[in-house]
């Protein structure tokens, strides 16, 4: 039995603009997906999945997960258990040169699904790592990140950046610009996450931004301006002492940039009433800054606040279903048990 966990992430800056070659800075957070893998004697794959809010369910298939089992669970959970796990299994079989390998797989996630926190990337990263280890062919982190990206790319029909999978593999704060990915040494930032209980349709939201960009020069300029915000934020982060706690001045400046970033995302049409309500609840509670994270349309916001005020205020905000502090996960993918 091989048990591997991988973290989810928030975008400090740069979602959507990253699709057009601007840089982005996602940060891994201490909310993990854990995947347990046991090789089987046959070539079947059996997946048992659960997250915090749902009772588990199990599916088993022989050749491919394309014939979706008829189970009554929300689509993001079914996708995590079938599409993403299947893609991870394919990558592991290829990497280990074991095309007929079968597995019993258990997925257990603390990351709200489809809400901009990188749940699918964490499942894919932990799944490939656990399955290749179980086959005796562990991968180095670069190859793991690369294969996890391929898996997401396949499932999402080419609509995936390297941000989520690289961040989940490496941990910490990372910088992604096209195919160029690197880790950033940063101090631990005081993230607070608010979740409205919903999810946006990433494909639709990305298509909406593309359409605005094609039709309005000001939308194209807005995307470039997000790139400028990311570059400014990145220089602040790399100028800070990664060992010490972040200074109040650094958090204040990063917060301002997050507010600017949210305003521009909102201009591009990817915020929502509940996301805006949570952003304002955080700001009014004294957060240094707040923005939506991920594709938008619903899902999560991320705020910076070293005090408890934002988390408490979000807990009393009607549009917020769950609020929690999210520590920066300095460790990415991690072997839990073997
Ligand atoms: O909601 P998420 O975590 O899937 O993030 C989507 C981020 C986008 O920039 C909108 C798309 C992408 O693949 O980078």
- For ligand 1, mutation pick of 31, 149, 161 (most atoms within 8 Å of CB): 161
Specify the pTM: 0.91
The single-letter DSSP state of residue 189 is: P
**Atom of ligand 1 at shortest range from CA of 15:** 9
Torsion angle, CA of 241/242/247/249, rounded to 10 degrees? 80
Given a contact cutoff of 8 angstroms between Cβ atoms, the answer to whether 301 and 259 are in contact is: no
Residue 268 reports pLDDT greater than 60? yes
Give the separation between CA 98 and CA 176, rounded to whole angstroms.
Answer: 32
pLDDT band at 69 (very low <50, low <70, confident <90, very high): low
- Summarised one tens digit per residue, pLDDT across range 297-321 is 999 999 999 999 999 999 999 999 9
pLDDT band at 83 (very low <50, low <70, confident <90, very high): confident
Is the model more confident about 85 or about 147?
Answer: 147
pLDDT band at 112 (very low <50, low <70, confident <90, very high): confident
Q: Which residues, in sequence order, are bridge partners of residue 337?
A: 3
pLDDT band at 114 (very low <50, low <70, confident <90, very high): confident
Of residues 164, 196, 288, 305, which has the active-site annotation?
A: 164
Task: Give the model's pLDDT for residue 51.
Answer: 61
Task: Give the model's pLDDT for residue 241.
Answer: 81
- Angle formed at CA 322 by CA 259 and CA 193, multiple of 5 degrees: 30
Q: What percentage of the chain reaches a pLDDT higher than 90?
A: 75
Task: Give the model's pLDDT for residue 64.
Answer: 60
- What b/e sequence results for 57-71 when a residue is b if at least 16 CB atoms lie within 10 Å of its CB, and e otherwise? bebebeeebeeeeee
Sequence-ordered list of residues with C-beta below 8 angstroms from that of 140, at least 6 positions apart, any chain: none
Is the model more confident about 52 or about 285?
Answer: 285
Task: Give the model's pLDDT for residue 113.
Answer: 79
Q: What is the DSSP string of 235-272?
A: HHHHHS-SSSPPPHHHHHHHHHHHHHHHHHHHHTT---
Task: Give the model's pLDDT for residue 99.
Answer: 95
Give the separation between CA 314 and CA 92, rounded to whole angstroms.
Answer: 41
Q: How far is the CA of 206 from the centre of ligand 1 (A)?
A: 8
Name which residue sits closest to atom 14 of ligand 1, judged by CA. Answer: 161
pLDDT band at 276 (very low <50, low <70, confident <90, very high): very high
Task: Give the model's pLDDT for residue 201.
Answer: 85
Average pLDDT over every residue of 224-242: 94
Task: Give the model's pLDDT for residue 58.
Answer: 65
Q: Which residues, in sequence order, are bridge partners of residue 36?
A: 3, 106
Give the separation between CA 170 and CA 320, rounded to whole angstroms.
Answer: 30
Give the separation between CA 32 and CA 331, rounded to whole angstroms.
Answer: 11
| 164 in active site | yes
Is the model more confident about 53 or about 108?
Answer: 108
Give the separation between CA 320 and CA 299, rounded to whole angstroms.
Answer: 10
pLDDT band at 79 (very low <50, low <70, confident <90, very high): low
Place of tokens 């894919």: 124
Task: Give the model's pLDDT for residue 245.
Answer: 84
Name which residue sits closest to atom 11 of ligand 1, judged by CA. Answer: 16
According to DSSP, the β-strands at 102-109 and 180-184 are: unpaired
**Atom of ligand 1 at shortest range from CA of 115:** 1
Region of poorest pLDDT, from 18-22, 45-49, 222-226: 45-49
Residue 52 reports pLDDT greater than 50? no
Residue 21 reports pLDDT greater than 60? yes
Q: Which residues line ligand 1 (CB under 6 A)?
A: 15-16, 18-19, 116, 118, 160-161, 163-164, 202, 206, 294-295
Residue 285 reports pLDDT greater than 90? yes
In the structure encoding, which two tokens stand for residue 115, read together?
């809400």
pLDDT band at 199 (very low <50, low <70, confident <90, very high): confident
Q: How far is the CA of 97 from the centre of ligand 1 (A)?
A: 31
Residue 7 three-state SS: strand
Is the model more confident about 199 or about 58?
Answer: 199
CB atoms within 10 A of CB 302: 30
Residue 92 reports pLDDT greater than 90? yes
Given a contact cutoff of 8 angstroms between Cβ atoms, the answer to whether 337 and 301 are in contact is: no
- Summarised one tens digit per residue, pLDDT across range 24-50 is 999 999 999 999 999 999 999 998 887
């Amino acid at each position: 039995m091989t048990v591997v966990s991988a973290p989810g992430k928030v975008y400090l800056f740069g979602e959507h603009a990253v699709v057009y070659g601007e840089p982005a800075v996602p940060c891994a957070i201490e909310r993990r997906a854990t995947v347990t893998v046991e090789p089987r004697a046959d070539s079947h794959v059996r997946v048992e999945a659960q997250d915090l809010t749902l009772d588990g369910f199990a599916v088993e298939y022989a050749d491919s997960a394309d014939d979706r089992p008829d189970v009554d669970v929300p689509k993001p959970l079914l996708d995590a258990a079938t599409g993403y796990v299947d893609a991870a299994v394919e990558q592991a079989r290829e990497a280990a040169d074991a095309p007929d390998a079968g597995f019993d797989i258990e997925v257990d996630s603390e990351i709200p699904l489809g809400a901009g926190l990188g749940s699918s990337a964490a499942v894919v990263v932990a799944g490939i790592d656990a399955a290749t280890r179980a086959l005796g062919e562990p991968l180095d982190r670069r190859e793991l990140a690369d294969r996890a990206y391929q898996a997401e790319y396949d499932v999402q029909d080419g609509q995936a950046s390297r941000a989520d999978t690289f961040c989940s593999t490496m941990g910490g704060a990372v910088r992604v610009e096209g195919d160029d990915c690197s880790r950033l040494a940063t101090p631990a930032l005081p993230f607070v996450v608010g979740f409205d209980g919903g999810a946006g349709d990433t494909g639709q939201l990305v298509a909406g931004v593309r359409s605005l960009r094609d039709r309005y020069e000001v939308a194209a300029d807005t995307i470039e301006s997000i790139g400028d915000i990311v570059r400014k934020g990145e220089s602040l982060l790399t100028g800070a002492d990664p060992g010490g706690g972040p200074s109040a001045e650094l958090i204040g400046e990063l917060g301002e940039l997050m507010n600017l970033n949210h305003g521009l995302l909102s201009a591009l049409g990817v915020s929502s009433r509940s996301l805006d309500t949570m952003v304002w609840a955080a700001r009014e509670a004294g957060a240094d800054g707040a923005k939506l994270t991920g594709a938008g349309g619903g899902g999560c916001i991320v705020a910076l606040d070293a005090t408890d005020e934002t988390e408490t205020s979000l807990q009393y905000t009607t549009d917020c279903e769950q609020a929690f502090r999210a520590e920066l996960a300095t460790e990415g993918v991690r072997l839990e048990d073997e």
